[in-house]
């Protein structure tokens, strides 16, 4: 069974620690996504599993067998790189059958596997084409067929959709997952695109500075982020630092550093502690008229509007001086102009509370 | 897992691969770098000898009056003879019958006496006879220096009357060897500097033309520029000297006979074979520079000359460094052509008596004369040190030095960018190429077609030819076996520090003058006492051609995206399979180019061969020997045969590399 167990894995390049004491279990047949900002160590992790880089310490087990001393070709792990790396001097057929031939299968079997894989990705008709004659999507499918035909049970995907245009990316996401499930493979998919991670994964690992900061289903990651960073990284959020005043029933009250009271979800944190509370920008309500309820109501002025197509992003300067963002769907966005006075409302059930991070809020939210 | 699989897994195992790389690196260090730099150790082990034989003034010549009782023979004997001067000894006699005077100078060579000079006369009555060894006489000059004896025997019809014998030392010049070295190196460096400056001035417009302009026949011009590279320098020296210089005893149809200064001739010669390197380096980097910068500057109103000077040139430095180092090193290192040219300007003279010497020709002459080991080691040591320092300085100066390029002079530059000036520049570039490069290179054909044929020793030629080919083939094969893995390690190696150091070290044999390299190698292997001429020649040629293969392959490896290899590995391919199916198809043309460059360089090399063993029989050495002896016709035929062979290989290379460019 293709399951992967990684224990206390560490990789340092000189002084720079890329992977810091990682322990991960990937279940058989799971589609796992590693999500993280640029430089989090995602690609390094894949390269370690594939055997392309040697770890500083720690071990990797595939199907219970320690593979630390095995060269890449004996790990039976198919690696699909960002640029696909289709061999430029070989045609689609030669690329696809590279793995079986390299492993010394007999010609009939090579023929069968090559054909099966190319038909599966709808490229059999183009088997004589050279990679440069294919479109981006076809190249991606060719690379996938090549990776799948190599008899590997583990598929490592390094930002496989990055080089494609937006529309194609959406289509191929699902195809990728379906193929890997159909073939009974265990897949690890690396991406920095939170939307991609949320739609495709069985489970997401959020990686930052070489460490796992949260592991969970897409819903858990989105709704119950483990800290301000993930709250912000997976769907943007507005934050306030302050002191937890009281917890009553399913509500808590926080006195923000701006002097205002914020009503939030309940929390297990001890009252009196320094905390951070945040709300995703799409749950930040913005109206021209004053909101009916009394709590979490603020006024401010629209400074800037960013048109994003289906959404618009509003930058609002609250009267307390704080800058916040609100995200409105297109049909509502047309009602507002830069300079308009607006009312902002945070629903308490959407406001998550975290202990204040060690380095302060600003440092916590830094992407790199 | 069956046995075969086990074995192939073992071969592909990390340890085996690491071991193989370690072996390649050890080969490189032990067979290329250490022998190349070995001469530097002489500063520690042989300092006393250097002081004795290089730094101290040679002793004054002592004259003694000799009187032999028989027939009242008197003469003045000297204990030292300077072979660069005409030497004479006047013998006075009084005799009543016919008498034979036999004067002989013998040199000791491994305990054997070898005759260096001998003359016998018959005299009668009272008078004197003068024996003369002229510095400029073909047959009566001294070929060697060293210790020996001079002997005067007096005999008549009935037998020996008397023999006089005293030790004598033949030496070259009355200068301190240190002064000779200093002068030769000064000449070498001045020539290299002038040649590099001319190469750059004439090469830049040509590189520009070849990259930025399109014109009919460009393809042919492109091939013509490379032609001198295909001709062994010994042949080039012969041909160029015939074309430009006053060459006593040789005046082929069409010869210009313009100069009798060896200095000017050597400069003209060195331009011929270094100019292609400059044009190639400059156009390679020019091709890399995005033409959009130039277009942007033009649309902003800058005249072409301003654009070239302020936008393109500053982006140029890397190519400039390569070009300058290559030209400078080539000029500094060249031996065969320079020897041939000097021999033709000063025929019937011993090499040690030539009016001008460069570093490499001094090494050649000393090595040929024999008995100059400390001097040779010292000269080679100085050359190695200076070239290494110079390499660093050139790199630093060009990278750090700010050229005054910011200032814009729209008026004059606009004027110079218009009308007749650019056309003149282009015309001059072509003129330079034809007059300085192409015609002198091929002038040898004029001599062969119009000159007086004389008998040719084809056996000697073919034996030299087969030896040269044997050496070239052996070193090419060894270079491929060890050079390709080393190049891969330099580019792909996991230990960046080791690969960076190797990267720098690889360039060392490329810039160290080959004659210095030969001396160093000779010392290194000589100290091991292998004693085989062929092995010595092969190891010398291996050292200076090795970088050519490594450089070419490393360049191609850098272009190759490592993810191809990594992907292939994850797909189940073992390292050798990846090399065969992925790496080799992508770099094969560079491997081939490197192999052919190594082969032709080995075929054309004189300096290293002569420096390592004085009587090795390669074709260029054979040609230089013929030229020195004044056998011009056979020398020319040998040159032409060598030119044809080199040409075929070069055309092959161009055909292959062009195919690579298309594919």
**Subunit contact A102:B573, Cβ cutoff 8 A:** yes
Last residue of a domain, one of A223, A247, A276: A223
Contact B571 A75 (CB under 8 A): no
Q: Is residue A230 part of a domain?
A: no
Query: Is the pLDDT at A189 greater than 90, yes or no?
Result: yes
Record: contact A81-B573, CB cut-off 8 A: no
Please report the pLDDT score of residue B662 as a whole number.
Answer: 46
The residue from A175, A201, A223 where one domain ends is: A223
For residues A124 and A246, membership in a common domain is answered with no
pLDDT at position B657 is 63
Q: Name the residue of chain A whose CA is nearest to B563's CA.
A: A85
Mean pLDDT (whole number) for B256-274 = 90
Average pLDDT (A29-34) is 93
Across B64-73, B141-150, B152-161, B605-614, least confident range: B141-150
**In this predicted structure, what is the pLDDT of residue B349?**
66
A259 and A353 together in one domain: yes
Q: How far is CA A302 from CA A237, A281, A291, in A?
A: 17, 15, 17
Give the chain A residue nearest B497 (alpha carbons).
A14
- Residues 6+ positions from A262 with CB-CB distance below 8 Å: A240, A242, A253, A254, A255, A256, A277, A296, A346, A351
Q: How high is the pLDDT of residue A8?
A: 92
Q: Taking residues A41-59, what's their average pLDDT?
A: 91
- Burial letters for B65-104: b for 16+ Cβ neighbours within 10 Å, e otherwise? eeebeebebebeebeebbbbeebebebebebeeebebbbb
Domain around A275: 236-358
List all residues 6 or more positions away from B439 whose beta carbon is below 8 Å from its beta carbon: B243
Judgement on whether residues A212 and A326 belong to the same structural domain of the protein: no
CATH of the domain at A270: 2.40.50.100
**pLDDT at position A216:** 93
Q: Which of B9, B564, B572 sits opposite A102 (nearest CB)?
A: B572
A292 touches chain B (CB under 8 A): no
Question: Which ipTM did the prediction report?
Answer: 0.81
Is the predicted pLDDT of residue B197 greater than 60, yes or no? yes
Residues A253 and A351 in one domain: yes
Q: Please report the pLDDT score of residue B151 as a whole number.
A: 93
pLDDT digits (tens, 9 = 90+) for B305-320: 777 777 777 777 766 7
Burial class (CB in 10 A: 0-12, 13-18, 19+), B447: buried
* Residue A365 resides in a domain: no
Q: Answer whether residue A77 is part of any domain.
A: yes
Same domain, A215 and A288: no
Residue A366 lies in a domain: no
Specify whether A144 is located in the same domain as A213.
yes
Burial class (CB in 10 A: 0-12, 13-18, 19+), B530: exposed
Residues A165 and A290 both lie in one domain: no
In chain B, what residues touch A51 (CB-CB under 8 Å)?
569-570
Confidence of residue B663 (pLDDT cuts 50, 70, 90): very low
State which CATH number among 3.20.20.70, 2.60.40.10, 1.20.1250.20, 3.30.830.10 fits the domain covering B85-171. Answer: 2.60.40.10
- pLDDT at residue A156 tops 50: yes
pLDDT band at B400 (very low <50, low <70, confident <90, very high): low
Round the average pLDDT of chain A to a whole number and report it.
88
Residue A178 lies in a domain: yes
In the predicted structure, residue B348 carries a pLDDT above the cut 70:
no
Structure confidence at residue B408 (pLDDT): 60
Percent helix, percent strand, percent coil in chain A, to nearest 5: 30, 35, 35
Nearest CA in chain B to A151: B571
Task: Report the distance separating Cα B486 and Cα B21, nearest Å.
Answer: 7
Per residue in B463-502, pLDDT (tens digit) is: 998 999 899 999 999 999 999 999 999 988 878 888 888 8
Measure CA B20 to chain center: 33
Q: Looking at CA atoms only, how far is residue B396 from chain A in angstroms?
A: 28
CATH number, domain with residue A132: 3.40.50.300
Q: Which of A223, A245, A279 is the last residue of a domain?
A: A223
Render pLDDT for B527-586 as a digit per residue (tens, 0 to 9).
666 567 888 899 889 999 999 899 889 888 888 888 899 899 988 888 888 998 999 988
* Total residue count of chain B as it appears in this document: 663
Same domain, A250 and A161: no
Q: Can you tell me the mean pLDDT for B579-601?
A: 87
Instruction: Look at the alpha carbons of B374, B379, B384, B388 in this order and tell me if their dihedral is positive or negative.
Output: positive
Q: Which residue of A has its CA nearest to B567?
A: A79
Residue A175 has pLDDT above 90, yes or no: no
Spatial CA neighbour of A235 closest among A245, A222, A219, A248:
A222
- In this structure, is residue A289 part of a structural domain? yes
Separation of alpha carbons B265 and B380, rounded Å: 24
pLDDT band of residue A94 (cuts 50, 70, 90) is very high
pLDDT in tens, A244-259: 988 888 889 999 888 8
The rounded mean pLDDT for chain B is: 83
Domain-located, residue A368: no
Instruction: Spell out which residues of chain B touch residue A156, defining contact as CB-CB under 8 Å.
Output: 570
**Greater pLDDT, B137 or A166:** A166
Residue from A51, A98, A117, A152 to probe the interface with B (highest B Cβ count within 10 Å): A98
| CATH (one of 3.40.50.970, 1.10.3720.10, 3.90.25.10, 1.10.260.40) for B189-436 | 1.10.3720.10
Q: What is the pLDDT of residue B150?
A: 92
Is residue B292 within 8 angstroms of chain A, CB to CB? no
- Same-domain status, A211 and A275: no
Whether residues A182 and A243 share a domain: the answer is: no
pLDDT at B475: 94
Together in a domain, A309 and A195: no
pLDDT band, residue A91 (cuts 50/70/90): very high
Domain identity same for A191 and A277: no
The C-alpha R_g of chain A, in whole angstroms, comes to 24
Instruction: Provide the pLDDT for residue B405.
Output: 54
As a CATH number, domain B7-47+456-663 is 1.10.3720.10
The answer to which of A357-361, B89-93, B568-572 has the lowest mean pLDDT is A357-361
Which tens digits make up the pLDDT trace of A212-243?
999 999 999 998 898 899 998 888 899 989 99
- Residue ranges covered by each domain of chain B: 7-47+456-663, 85-171, 189-436
Q: Which residues of B touch A81 (CB under 8 A)?
A: 563, 566-567
Inter-chain residue contact B563 with A98, CB threshold 8 Å: no
Q: How many domains does chain A have?
A: 2
Question: Is residue B615 less than 8 Å (CB to CB) from chain A?
Answer: no
Confidence check: pLDDT of B194 > 80: yes
Which of A71, A89, A150 is facing B571, going by the closest CB pair? Answer: A150
Domains B7-47+456-663 and B85-171 share a fold: no
Q: A327 lies in a domain?
A: yes
């Amino acid at each position: 069974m293709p399951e992967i167990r990684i224990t206390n894995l560490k990789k340092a390049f000189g002084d720079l620690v890329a992977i810091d004491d990682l322990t991960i279990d990937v279940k058989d047949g799971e589609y796992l996504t590693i999500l993280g900002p640029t430089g989090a160590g995602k690609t390094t992790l894949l390269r370690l599993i594939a055997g392309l880089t040697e770890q500083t310490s720690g071990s990797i087990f595939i199907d219970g067998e320690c593979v630390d001393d095995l060269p890449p070709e004996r790990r039976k792990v198919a690696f699909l790189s960002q640029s696909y790396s289709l061999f430029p001097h070989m045609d689609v057929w030669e690329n696809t059958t590279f793995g079986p031939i390299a492993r010394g299968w007999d010609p009939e079997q090579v023929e069968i596997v090559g054909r099966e894989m190319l038909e599966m990705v709808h490229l059999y008709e183009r088997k004589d084409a050279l990679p440069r004659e294919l479109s981006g999507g076809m190249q991606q499918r060719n690379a996938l067929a090549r990776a799948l035909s190599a008899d590997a049970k583990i598929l490592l995907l390094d930002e496989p959709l990055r080089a494609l245009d937006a529309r194609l990316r959406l289509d191929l996401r699902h195809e990728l997952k379906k193929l890997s499930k159909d073939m009974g493979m265990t897949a690890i998919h690396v991406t920095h695109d939170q939307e991609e991670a949320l739609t495709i994964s069985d489970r997401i690992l959020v990686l930052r500075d070489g460490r796992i900061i949260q592991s969970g289903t897409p819903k858990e990651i989105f709704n119950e982020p483990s800290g301000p960073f993930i709250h912000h990284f997976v769907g943007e959020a507005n934050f306030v630092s302050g002191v937890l005043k009281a917890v009553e029933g399913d509500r808590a009250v926080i006195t923000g550093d701006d002097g205002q009271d914020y009503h939030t979800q309940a929390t297990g944190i001890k009252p009196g502690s320094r905390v951070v509370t945040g709300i995703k920008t799409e749950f930040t309500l913005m109206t021209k008229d004053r909101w009916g309820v009394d709590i979490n109501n603020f006024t401010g002025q629209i400074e800037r509007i960013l048109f994003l197509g289906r959404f618009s992003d509003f930058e609002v300067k609250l009267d307390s001086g704080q800058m916040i963002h609100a995200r409105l769907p297109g049909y509502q966005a047309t009602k507002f102009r830069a300079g308009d006075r607006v009312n902002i409302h945070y629903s308490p059930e959407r406001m998550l509370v975290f202990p204040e991070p060690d380095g302060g809020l600003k440092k916590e939210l830094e992407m790199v | 897992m069956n046995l075969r699989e086990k074995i192939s897994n073992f071969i592909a195992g990390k340890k085996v691969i690491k071991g193989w790389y370690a072996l390649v690196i050890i080969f490189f260090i032990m067979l290329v770098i250490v022998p190349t730099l070995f001469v530097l150790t002489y500063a520690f082990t042989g300092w006393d000898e250097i002081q004795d034989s290089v730094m101290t003034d040679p002793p004054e010549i002592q004259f003694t009056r000799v009187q032999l009782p028989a027939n009242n023979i008197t003469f003045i004997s000297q204990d030292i003879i300077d072979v660069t001067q005409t030497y004479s000894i006047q013998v006075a006699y009084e005799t009543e019958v016919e008498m034979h005077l036999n004067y002989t100078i013998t040199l000791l060579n491994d305990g054997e006496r070898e005759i260096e000079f001998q003359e016998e006369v018959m005299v009668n009555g009272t008078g004197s006879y003068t024996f003369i060894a002229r510095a400029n006489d073909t047959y009566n000059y001294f070929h060697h220096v060293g210790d020996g004896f001079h002997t005067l025997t007096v005999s008549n019809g009935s037998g020996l009357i008397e023999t006089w014998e005293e030790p004598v030392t033949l030496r070259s010049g009355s200068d301190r060897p240190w002064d000779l070295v200093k002068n030769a190196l000064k000449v070498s460096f001045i020539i290299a500097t002038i040649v590099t400056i001319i190469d750059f001035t004439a090469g830049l417009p040509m590189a520009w033309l070849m990259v930025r302009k399109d014109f009919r026949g460009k393809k042919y011009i492109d091939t013509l520029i490379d032609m001198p590279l295909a001709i062994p320098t010994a042949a080039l020296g012969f041909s160029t000297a015939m074309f430009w210089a006053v060459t006593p005893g040789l005046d082929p149809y069409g010869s210009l006979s313009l100069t009798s200064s060896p200095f000017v001739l050597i400069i003209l010669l060195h331009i011929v074979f270094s100019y292609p390197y400059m044009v190639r380096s400059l156009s390679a980097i020019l091709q890399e520079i995005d033409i959009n910068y130039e277009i942007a500057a033009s649309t902003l109103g800058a005249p072409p000359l301003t654009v070239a000077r302020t936008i393109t040139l500053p982006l140029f430095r890397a190519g400039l460094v390569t070009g300058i180092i290559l030209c400078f090193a080539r000029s500094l290192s060249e031996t065969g052509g320079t020897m041939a040219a000097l021999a033709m300007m000063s025929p019937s003279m011993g090499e040690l008596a030539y009016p001008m010497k460069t570093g490499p020709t001094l090494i050649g002459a000393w090595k040929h004369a024999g008995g100059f080991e400390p001097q040779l080691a010292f000269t080679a040591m100085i050359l190695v040190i200076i070239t290494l320092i110079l390499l660093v300085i050139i790199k630093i100066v060009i990278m750090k030095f700010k050229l005054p390029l910011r200032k814009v002079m729209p008026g004059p530059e606009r004027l110079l960018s218009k009308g007749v000036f650019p056309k003149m520049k282009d015309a001059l570039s072509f003129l330079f190429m034809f007059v300085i490069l192409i015609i002198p290179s091929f002038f040898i054909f004029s001599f062969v077609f119009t000159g007086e044929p004389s008998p040719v020793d084809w056996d000697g030629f073919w034996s030299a030819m087969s030896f040269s080919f044997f050496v070239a083939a052996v070193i090419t094969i060894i270079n491929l076996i060890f050079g390709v893995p080393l190049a891969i390690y330099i580019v792909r190696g996991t230990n960046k520090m080791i690969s960076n150091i190797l990267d720098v070290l690889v360039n060392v044999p490329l810039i160290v003058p080959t004659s210095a390299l030969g001396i160093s190698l000779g010392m290194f292997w000589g100290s091991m006492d292998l004693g085989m001429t062929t092995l010595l020649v092969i190891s010398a040629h291996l050292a200076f051609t090795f970088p050519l293969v490594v450089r070419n392959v490393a360049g191609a490896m850098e272009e190759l995206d490592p993810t191809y290899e990594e992907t292939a590995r994850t797909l189940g391919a073992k390292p050798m399979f990846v090399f065969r199916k992925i790496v080799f198809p992508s770099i094969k043309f560079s491997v081939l180019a490197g192999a052919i460059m190594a082969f032709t360089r080995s075929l054309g090399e004189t300096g290293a061969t002569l420096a390592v063993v004085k009587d090795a029989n390669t074709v260029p050495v054979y040609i230089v020997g013929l030229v020195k002896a004044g056998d011009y016709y056979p020398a020319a035929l040998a040159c032409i045969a060598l030119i044809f062979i080199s040409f075929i290989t070069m055309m092959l290379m161009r055909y292959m590399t062009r195919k690579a460019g298309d594919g």
